[in-house]
Structure 1
Amino acid sequence: MNTPELTTLLIANRGEIACRIMRTAKKMGLTTVAVHSAIDRDARHSREADICVDLGGSKAAESYLVVDKLIKAAKASGAQAIHPGYGFLSENADFARAIKAAGLVFLGPPASAIDAMGSKSAAKSLMEQ
Structure 2
Amino acid sequence: MSTLTTVLVANRGEIACRVMRTAKAMGLTTVAVHSAIDRDARHSREADIRVDLGGSKATDSYLQIDKLIAAAHASGAQAIHPGYGFLSENAGFARAIEAAGLIFLGPPASAIDAMGSKSAAKALRATAGVSRAHG
TM-score, L = length of structure 1: 0.96
The aligned amino acid for 2:106 is: G
Report percent identity of matched pairs.
83
Q: Which residue of 2 aligns with 1:8?
A: 6
Quote the offset at 1:14 in angstroms: 0.2
Q: Deviations over 1:74-105 (max 9, x none)?
A: 00000000000011211000000000000000
Q: Which residue of 1 aligns with 2:111?
A: 113
Match of 1:66 among 47, 64, 67: 64
CA distance in 1, matches of 2:24, 2:37: 25
Correspondence list, 1:85-100, <5 A: 85-100=83-98
Q: Secondary structure, in 3 states, of the residue corresponding to 1:9?
A: strand
Structure number with greater Rg is: 2
4+ residue stretches of structure 1 with deviation over 3 A? none
Q: Which residue of 1 aligns with 2:39?
A: 41
CA distance in 1, matches of 2:13, 2:6: 19
Q: Considering only aligned residues, what root-mean-square deviation do their CA atoms show, in Å?
A: 0.7
CA distance in 1, matches of 2:58, 2:84: 14
Do 2:11 and 2:86's aligned partners in 1 also have CA atoms closer than 8 Å? no
Quote the offset at 1:120 in angstroms: 1.1
Correspondence list, 1:19-58, <5 A: 19-58=17-56
Do 2:10 and 2:83's aligned partners in 1 also have CA atoms closer than 8 Å? yes
Q: How many residues align?
A: 127
Q: Deviations over 1:32-68 (max 9, x none)?
A: 0000000100000000000000000000000000000
Unaligned runs of 5+ in 2: 128-135
Unaligned runs of 5+ in 1: none
CA distance in 2, matches of 1:127, 1:88: 25
